Amino acid sequence: MTTRTESSRIAIIAAGAWGTALGASLVRGGHKVILYSRRTEVVDEINTRHRNSRYLPGISLPTSLSASGQLEQVVEASDLIVLAVPSRSLRQVCNDLKALPVRKRLDILSTVKGIDKESKCVPSEVIREVLGHLVNRLAVLSGPNFASEVACGLPAGTVIASDDEDFLKHLIDIISTTNILAECSADVKGVQLAGCFKNAIAFLAGVAEGLGLGMNARAFVVEYGFRCMRKVFKRLGLPMTTTVGLAGLGDVVLTATSAQSRNYRAGLMAARSETLKVETLEGIDSVHGLRFLVRDAGCRCPLCLFDLVSKMIEGSLPPTSVMGHLFNGVNNVAAMTKTTLEAE
């Protein structure tokens, strides 16, 4: 953590687990942060009891971290807008921002992970599409970050990507005051896509664990998913370095090996034929988008990981069949390993 004399005024849209955790970290770094939430009970609890028991149970928050249910007030009082909403809510939130009588262009940092179901766009593209000229500068943040650990002040690493070098430096300066080590990237689309890929990989890793297939099978699923990610990046002409960085490999390692991951837990639940909770599905909404993105890019993975995950989420393919298709399909692809090694 680096000490800075200049404090930033930051609004975080959505007081979920990650938005609250990031807000707590930024406040401890000396910044003025206000969380926005539609839930009155969440706003009241943060302001009076300095807790968010709905999303971060058992964790005490800084007393100077505040919350509000008034979106216009929150936006007007801030220099930086952090969007920490679920991917399925992003378009509506952007429309809400657009409808405000905002008298300034917005500097935005998006932490959203997912692909828009309607347009198959990554979050930054949705933001620019909806807000248009209201966007002044835009960046994205993604990495292996469990909200509960960040909220408690434990160290973490992440990636911030932007095509605006000055804005990127400004954000790194802000984050450097916290317990989060931030790396720079110019690969805005790749950093976001990596977060989508890891959701699918973590989900399948949870399925393997839930079916009791052992650690060997889980390792195979993770490596195979990672291989698919690299193939897609290569096909799209995106930097391969992103796949082996914090937003790619780093996030896969974290979320595909721990029950703290909502996507991993969703896979566990699905394997045990349990009903998936809405909040666990928010992260894997992107799987459906990836399914079409991979197809439209003309990328031919030996077996489409995302088809399998999509069918399982939809309930048209049982967990045991998913794993059967995966292992048998890979086994039946002639010279797959040789072809992959030559391609890379």
Domains assigned to the chain? 9-186 (3.40.50.720), 191-343 (1.10.1040.10)
Q: What is the pLDDT along the chain (344 residues), one digit of tens a residue?
A: 555 547 899 999 999 999 999 999 999 999 999 999 999 999 999 999 999 999 999 999 999 999 999 999 999 999 999 999 998 899 999 999 999 998 789 999 999 998 887 788 999 999 999 999 999 999 999 999 999 999 999 999 999 999 999 999 999 999 989 999 999 999 999 999 999 899 889 988 999 999 999 999 999 989 988 988 998 899 899 999 999 999 999 999 999 999 999 889 988 888 887 766 655 455 567 777 787 777 777 776 645 677 888 888 788 888 888 888 877 766 554 334 444 444 44
Distance CA 293, CA 273 (A): 28
With beta carbons less than 8 A apart as the criterion, state whether 35 and 46 touch. Answer: yes
Q: Is 337 exposed, middle or buried (0-12, 13-18, 19+ CB in 10 A)?
A: exposed
Distance CA 191, CA 74 (A): 28
Q: What is the pLDDT of residue 334?
A: 36
Q: Are strands 106-110 and 32-36 parallel, antiparallel or unpaired?
A: unpaired
Write the CA distances from 200 to 75, 110, 196, integer angstroms.
33, 20, 7
Look at residue 274 and give its three-state secondary structure.
Answer: coil
The one catalytic residue in 113, 189, 198, 231 is 198
Write the CA distances from 320 to 264, 272, 273, 287, 317, integer angstroms.
16, 10, 11, 19, 8
Whether 198 is a known active-site residue: answer yes
DSSP 162: -
With beta carbons less than 8 A apart as the criterion, state whether 114 and 91 touch. Answer: no
Q: What is the pLDDT of residue 119?
A: 84
Q: What is the pLDDT of residue 276?
A: 66
Nearest alpha carbon to residue 192 among 135, 147, 127:
127
